[in-house]
Amino acid sequence: MSFSLSERASGVLLHPTCLPGAHGCGDAGPEAHAFAAWLRGAGQRFWQMLPVGPVGYGNSPYSAHSAFAGSPLLISIDSLVEEGLLPAGALGEKPHFPEGRADYPAARAWRDRCLKIAFQVFRKSDHAAFEAFCAQSNDWLADYALYAAIKRSRGDRSWTEWEPELRARDAEALDRARRALREAIEQQRFEQFLFARQWRALKARCAELGLGLIGDVPIFVAHDSADVWAHRELFFLDPQGQPTVIAGVPPDYFSATGQRWGNPLYRWEVLEQTGFRWWIRRFAQMLERFDAIRLDHFIGFQRYWEIAASEPTAQNGRWVPGPGAKLFEALRKACGTLPLIAEDLGAVTPEVTALRDRFDLPGMTILQFAFGTDPQAPTFLPHNYQRNSVACTGTHDNDTTRGWFEKLDVEERRATLEYLGTSGREIHWEMIREVWRSVANLALAPVQDLLGLGTESRMNLPGTAQGNWEWRLLEIPGAKEQDRLRELTRIYGRSAP
């Protein structure tokens, strides 16, 4: 089933780790299928998610250990029991997990134990599908499985802290590691096979329901990742593998020192010489997992802020041209139609807008940004929206709408209530209504806004390293919210057929 970003539609943002469940964090199992059915009952066309790779530093999905692999945390333990790969008795020793928060260390340890048992059971059966998956995915899976196995055997230390010969990918050293870690490498390949199989099942169920999945591609990758370790030539690194220049954004209205992200920067001229092969492979795989893709930090494809790795802040940097249209022409030639959403928030220049419009990509607009004193605020008012755009109440980086509203100063609160024509008693639903009735082709809201949750349910606070990405639903939203969302969606012509 095909899903078009040019048709009037709506959807909900909820990352799978936020789903309820008994195993420390949400996953792609029964609760995900139940939420998909709930969305369909609410008349929605899209389910938006964050990146689904194996999370790294700070448990951030935007700092994954691979741009290709799936997160083992999203493998459903309940589905393994249903498939007969995990004896039900193995769940008797399940630890106690907190309610309403993802406990990543405990969830990871629990899944490690369960997945090792499942692999031993699986090995006694026919492996044809497993071997086919490994062969089809070998261009990224071989490096990832080896990287993950070595990393685990070295106490999860970054690859730049491994032995020099492994860090430098000496052929003999890699062969020795493959022999010594053969079992661990097979375990990693098995986990990726399980993730792919469960994800295909979820995507197929969503398609049956008429529900499209929106994924997320961060423009940059984590330094401690299989991608950087296996493709050092594609990044600006010194002989020890450390970045010489890093990504971030310059000082602006929100931050006097900018944001120093720390990701290594691409050697775009080297990537161009390969025909952008790595990027084409990345997009081809994402388009198998998702029906549409949000391009995080789209402005970086036109120009990006380069910071010397030695700089403590992002203040002293420079703008450097990105690959621009060359990359998207190569992607379009290789992949065909590009169902992409340009996250064009930030320092948007006419050149960024021109690149977005050249490929007919919808940009993003955030209603929470519309009522402040920032010079760009008027562009986020709904009467200034374009049809070819994606309108949101907020994103994973924003406070919840209720939390945001409660913190507004007197003038911003007055401007908000005046524009919406409301008392603010149900500010979350008023904001959803405003986005849903806008001319934007696609309207999105985080599930927290449907439920009217406060700041305690915020997903991420940019610039902080602790306590993010942990919020979870206690249960799938109920009939009340479903009926109300379905009615708004019907009124404003966004209902699924």
Structure confidence by residue, pLDDT tens digits, 265-297: 999 999 999 999 999 999 999 999 999 999 999
- CA-angle at 125, arms to 198 and 136, nearest 5°: 50
pLDDT of residue 463: 77
- CA-angle at 213, arms to 212 and 218, nearest 5°: 145
- Quote the DSSP letter at residue 219: S
Give exposure, 239-259, as e/b (b: 16+ Cβ within 10 Å).
eebebebbbbbbeeeeeeebb
Give the confidence band of 94 by pLDDT, cuts at 50, 70, 90.
Answer: confident
CA-to-CA dists, residue 136 to 90, 132, 285, 289, angstroms: 32, 6, 11, 15
Catalytic residues: 296, 343, 397
Structure confidence by residue, pLDDT tens digits, 324-369: 999 999 999 999 999 999 999 887 899 999 999 999 999 999 999 9
Please give the structure tokens belonging to residue 385. Answer: 């929206």
Quick check: helix, strand or coil at residue 356? helix
Give the confidence band of 127 by pLDDT, cuts at 50, 70, 90.
Answer: confident
CA-to-CA dists, residue 227 to 64, 65, 75, 125, 193, angstroms: 10, 8, 22, 32, 19
From start to end of 161-296, where are the E strands?
Answer: 212-218, 245-249, 259-264, 292-296
Structure confidence by residue, pLDDT tens digits, 160-205: 999 999 999 999 999 999 999 999 999 999 999 999 999 999 999 9
Q: Which fold has domain 9-70+201-491?
A: TIM Barrel (3.20.20)
Domain ranges of the chain: 9-70+201-491
Structure confidence by residue, pLDDT tens digits, 432-469: 999 999 999 999 999 999 999 999 999 999 878 889 99
3-state secondary structure 268-312: HHHHHHCCCHHHHHHHHHHHHHCCEEEEECCHHHHEEEEEECCCC
pLDDT of residue 300: 96
Average pLDDT of every residue of the chain: 95
* Percent of the chain whose pLDDT exceeds 70: 99
Say whether pLDDT at 88 is over 90.
no
- Mean pLDDT, range 213-230, rounded to an integer: 98
Please give the structure tokens belonging to residue 420. Answer: 């919406």
- Mean pLDDT, range 382-409, rounded to an integer: 97
The structure tokens 């950087």 sit at 228
pLDDT of residue 126: 76
pLDDT of residue 254: 59
- Mean pLDDT, range 313-329, rounded to an integer: 96
Structure confidence by residue, pLDDT tens digits, 145-155: 999 999 999 99
Structure confidence by residue, pLDDT tens digits, 371-384: 988 888 899 999 99
pTM: 0.97
